[in-house]
Amino acid sequence: MDWYETVFELIDMRSFSNLWFWIALAVLWSSTSHWVLGVPWDVVIRARKAKGPEDAQTVIDLHDLVRINANRILYIARESGLLLAAFVCFTITVAFLLGFVYHKEFAQALFLLGFPMSIVGLLSLRTARKIKVRALEGEALYRQLYRHRLLTQVIGMISIFVTAMWGMLQNMTIGVLGG
């Protein structure tokens, strides 16, 4: 076995042994955690730390961004929620069946990316509805956004852990069985 063959055996194009998959997973969860309901987390932090009238624009900007994005999420859910839910459920079911019943690794990877993101999508819908119904502002809004971000991060940590364990199992199984 020569060096070239050894390198390409270690770095093949399967999903769980591909560096690009792990980079995509990290970017997906990093971005999802940073953008809370479409609002950058640093804007939330700056608005929360705002003290005087010179920081008033930051607070106004945050409230406007949250209002716009919450209304947008609720509008999409109201207008095409049923169709979107059906499409997402169909896609996730197909990925699950192809991945775990028919043992297609690419479908497993898509399922392990998509299923937790669908949970985050439902969480975003719930948070947007809560913000709109309760007309949250100020500290109550910051707390709700923080809770949403924390739950998103917990979902992300569980997702990354499960994906890493499944990916290692797949890589070890393929390595033991020889492809």
Interval 96-151: pLDDT, tens = 999 999 999 899 999 999 999 999 999 999 999 999 999 999 899 999 999 999 99
Residue 56 is predicted with a pLDDT of: 86
| CB 108 within 8 Å of CB 100 | yes
- For the cut 80, the answer to whether the pLDDT of residue 6 exceeds it is no
114 burial class (0-12, 13-18, 19+ CB within 10 angstroms)? Answer: middle
Q: Which two tokens stand for residue 51?
A: 């003290």
CB-CB neighbours of 135 under 10 Å: 9
pTM: 0.85
Give the model's confidence band at 19: pLDDT under 50 very low, under 70 low, under 90 confident, else very high.
confident
